[in-house]
Amino acid sequence: MSERFISIEGIARAYPSASGVPVAVFEDLWFSIGRGEFVCAIGHSGCGKTTVLNILAGLDEPSTGVVVVDGKGIEGPSLDRAVIFQSHALLPWKTVLGNVAYAVKSRWPNWSADKIKAHAEKALGVVGLSGAEFKKPAELSGGMKQRVGIARALAIEPKILLMDEPFSALDALTRGTLQDEVRRICRDTSQTVFMITHDVDEAIYLADKIVLMTNGPGAQIAEIVDNPLPIERARAEVHKHPDYYAVRNHIVDFLVSRSRNFAEEEAARLARGVQRNNRHPPVVRPLADTIMPGATRAAS
Amino acid sequence: MTKTLPFRAGLLSMVILGIFLGAWHIATAGSGPVANIDPEYAKLLGQTATQGKSAMPGPLDVGRALWTHLRDPFYDRGTNDKGIGIQIAWSVARVAAGYGLAILVALPLGFVIGMSALISRALDPFIQIMKPISPLAWMPLALYTIKDSGLSAIFVIFICSLWPMLINTAFGVASVRREWLNVARTLEVGPLRKAFTVILPAAAPTILTGMRISIGIAWLVIVAAEMLVGGTGIGYFVWNEWNNLSITNVIIAILAIGVVGMALDLVLSRLTRLVSYPE
Ligand SMILES: Nc1ncnc2c1ncn2[C@@H]1O[C@H](COP(=O)(O)OP(=O)(O)O)[C@@H](O)[C@H]1O
Ligand SMILES: [Mg+2]
The verdict on a CB contact (< 8 Å) between A77 and B201 is: no
Distance from residue A11's CA to the centre of ligand 2 (Å): 17
pLDDT per position as a tens digit, B105-148: 999 999 999 999 999 999 999 999 999 999 989 999 999 999 88
Tell me, what DSSP letter sits at residue B85? H
Q: Which of B186, B192, B207 to mutate to test the interface with A (most CBs of A within 10 A)?
A: B186
Ligand 1 pocket, mutate which of A23, A27, A50 (most atoms under 8 A from CB): A50
The answer, yes or no, to whether any atom of ligand 1 lies below 6 A from the CB of A46, is: yes
A205 burial via Cβ count (<10 Å: 0-12, 13-18, 19+): buried
Which portions of chain B are predicted below pLDDT 70? 1-2, 30-37, 39, 41-54
The answer, yes or no, to whether any atom of ligand 1 lies below 6 A from the CB of A218, is: no
Q: How far apart are CA A271 and CA B99, in angstroms?
A: 77
- Comparing C-alpha atoms, which of A143, A235, A219 is closest to residue A184? A235
The verdict on a CB contact (< 8 Å) between B198 and A83 is: no
The predicted structure's pLDDT at residue A295 = 46
Task: Kindly indicate the confidence band of residue A1, based on its pLDDT and cuts at 50, 70 and 90.
Answer: very low
Task: Kindly indicate the confidence band of residue A299, based on its pLDDT and cuts at 50, 70 and 90.
Answer: very low
Looking at ligand 1, which atom is closest to the CA of residue A217?
25
The predicted structure's pLDDT at residue B203 = 97
Tell me what the pLDDT averaged over chain B comes to. 89
Ligand showing the shortest atom-to-Cα distance for residue A46:
1
Q: What H or E segment, with its residue span, contains residue B140?
A: helix B139-146
Cβ–Cβ < 8 Å for A204, A235 = no
The predicted structure's pLDDT at residue B68 = 86
pLDDT per position as a tens digit, B162-187: 999 999 999 999 999 999 999 999 99
Distance from residue A49's CA to the centre of ligand 2 (Å): 6
3-state secondary structure of B152: helix
Q: How far apart are CA A88 and CA B212, in angstroms?
A: 32
Looking at ligand 1, which atom is closest to the CA of residue A165?
21
Contacts A148 to B, Cβ<8 Å:
none
The predicted structure's pLDDT at residue B50 = 56
Higher pLDDT, A75 or B31: A75
The answer, yes or no, to whether any atom of ligand 1 lies below 6 A from the CB of A214, is: no
Cβ contacts of B180 within 8 Å, gap of 6 or more: A89, A91, B198, B202
The predicted structure's pLDDT at residue A56 = 96
Mean pLDDT throughout A68-97? 93
Tell me, what DSSP letter sits at residue B199? I
Mean pLDDT throughout A132-144? 93
Amino acid, res. A277: N
The predicted structure's pLDDT at residue B52 = 55
The predicted structure's pLDDT at residue B224 = 93
The predicted structure's pLDDT at residue B49 = 55
The predicted structure's pLDDT at residue B3 = 76
pLDDT per position as a tens digit, A8-36: 999 999 998 888 888 999 999 999 999 99
Cβ contacts of A2 within 8 Å, gap of 6 or more: A34
Ligand showing the shortest atom-to-Cα distance for residue A164:
2
Q: How far apart are CA A18 and CA A16, in angstroms?
A: 7
Looking at ligand 1, which atom is closest to the CA of residue A196?
21
The verdict on a CB contact (< 8 Å) between B187 and A79 is: yes
State the Cα angle at A59 between A57 and A65, rounded to 5°: 75
Ligand showing the shortest atom-to-Cα distance for residue A41:
1
Q: Is B274 on the interface with A (CB under 8 A)?
A: no
Ligand showing the shortest atom-to-Cα distance for residue A13:
1
Distance from residue A140's CA to the centre of ligand 1 (Å): 30
B94 burial via Cβ count (<10 Å: 0-12, 13-18, 19+): buried
The predicted structure's pLDDT at residue B55 = 72
Q: Are strands A81-84 and A160-164 parallel, antiparallel or unpaired?
A: parallel
Tell me, what DSSP letter sits at residue B198? I
Q: Is B211 on the interface with A (CB under 8 A)?
A: no
The verdict on a CB contact (< 8 Å) between A138 and B186 is: no
Q: For atom 3 of ligand 1, which residue has the closest CA? A: A15
The verdict on a CB contact (< 8 Å) between A58 and B279 is: no
pLDDT per position as a tens digit, A162-217: 999 998 888 888 889 889 989 998 998 899 999 999 899 999 999 999 999 999 78
Q: How many CB pairs below 8 A link A and B?
A: 54
Distance from residue A263's CA to the centre of ligand 2 (Å): 23
pLDDT per position as a tens digit, A155-164: 999 999 999 9
- Comparing C-alpha atoms, which of A288, A280, A286 is closest to residue A299? A286
Nearest chain B residue to A109 by CA distance is B189
The verdict on a CB contact (< 8 Å) between B185 and A59 is: yes
The predicted structure's pLDDT at residue B57 = 87
Q: For atom 24 of ligand 1, which residue has the closest CA? A: A46
Higher pLDDT, A294 or A47: A47
The predicted structure's pLDDT at residue B36 = 65
The answer, yes or no, to whether any atom of ligand 1 lies below 6 A from the CB of A74, is: no
**CA neighbours closer than 13 Å in the CB half-sphere of residue B200:** 9
ipTM of the complex: 0.89
Which of B186, B201, B278 is facing A59, going by the closest CB pair? B186
Contacts A57 to B, Cβ<8 Å:
186
